[in-house]
């Protein structure tokens, strides 16, 4: 998806700020919002940036109380977005930060892959379930069905990789692996408050779309 920049992004940010400010007076938060510069809309991700000398103000947006308020406003938009905060105020600053994030994620996957090669199926699945649980516990707005649905979709891609890894584990029967994998689906179903069979169905659909190149 192409990046949207310029006036359209500025207007979106002004609308978001107005909605946040309408929730109640909070001068430190207002100053932090006003110091941010809207950079680009990248899909459902709105990039905002701070000059180096003002970057410390971005931490106010991460204070739990403020973060919850901002998240509620972002999710109430006609087209919900997520914030991506960078140090710098140019499109290149955002692209550089995004590239670093992708590189860090890739590096983490390599580390996990190296560990997986020495793990059993049970260990792999326990760690996956633990990661899902940790992410869910800090998920803002998890009481909302659309937030839980998005969380589930994010987990599905990781589940495909997890299943591929456990199938590479030698000296363990496939039937045993599938039973253990089913337990992770059960735990994920409990988090998103869906029947485990429906979560399994969504997983199989996602895996088939991915196989066809559409996921």
Taking only the tens place, the pLDDT of each residue in 52-86 is 999 999 999 999 999 999 999 999 999 999 999 99
114 — pLDDT class (breaks 50, 70, 90): low
Can you list the domains of the chain with their CATH numbers?
A: 7-97 (3.30.300.180), 119-212 (no CATH)
Write out pLDDT tens, residues 151-207. Answer: 898 888 888 888 888 887 776 788 888 888 899 899 989 999 999 999 899 989 888
DSSP letters for 87-112: ESSSHHHHHHHHHHHHHHHHHHHHHH
Q: Fill in the DSSP letter of residue 56.
A: G
Tell me what pLDDT residue 215 has. Answer: 47
> Could you tell me what percent of the chain has a pLDDT over 90?
51
Question: Where in the chain does DSSP place strands (E)?
Answer: 37-42, 45-50, 82-87
Place of tokens 């190296």: 114
Q: With a threshold of 0.75, does the pTM exceed it?
A: no
Residue 39 has pLDDT above 50, yes or no: yes
> Could you tell me what percent of the chain has a pLDDT over 70?
93
Mean pLDDT across the chain: 88
Tell me what pLDDT residue 108 has. Answer: 82
Q: What is the mean pLDDT of residues 119-146?
A: 85
Q: Which residues pair with 50 in a beta bridge?
A: 87
What is each CA distance from 13 to 54, 82, 135, 162, in whole angstroms?
18, 12, 27, 38
Residue 26 has pLDDT above 80, yes or no: yes
């Amino acid at each position: 998806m192409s990046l949207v920049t310029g006036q359209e992004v500025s207007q979106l940010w002004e609308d978001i700020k107005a909605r946040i400010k309408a929730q109640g007076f909070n001068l430190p938060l207002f100053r932090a919002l006003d110091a941010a510069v809207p950079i680009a809309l990248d899909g459902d991700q709105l990039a905002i940036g701070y000059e180096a000398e003002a970057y410390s103000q971005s931490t106010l947006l991460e204070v739990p109380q403020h973060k919850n308020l901002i998240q509620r406003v972002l999710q109430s938009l006609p087209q919900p977005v997520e914030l991506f905060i960078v140090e710098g105020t140019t499109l290149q600053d955002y692209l550089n930060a995004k590239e670093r994030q992708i590189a860090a994620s890739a590096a983490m996957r390599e580390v996990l892959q190296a560990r997986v090669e020495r793990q059993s199926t049970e260990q792999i699945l326990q760690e996956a379930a633990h990661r899902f649980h940790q992410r869910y516990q800090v998920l803002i707005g998890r009481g909302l069905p659309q937030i839980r649905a998005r969380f589930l979709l994010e987990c599905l891609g990781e589940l495909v990789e997890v299943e591929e890894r456990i199938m590479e584990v030698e000296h363990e029967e496939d039937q045993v692996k599938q039973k253990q994998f089913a337990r992770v689906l059960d735990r994920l179903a409990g988090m998103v408050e869906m029947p485990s069979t429906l979560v399994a169905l969504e997983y199989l659909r996602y895996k088939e779309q991915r196989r066809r190149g559409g996921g």
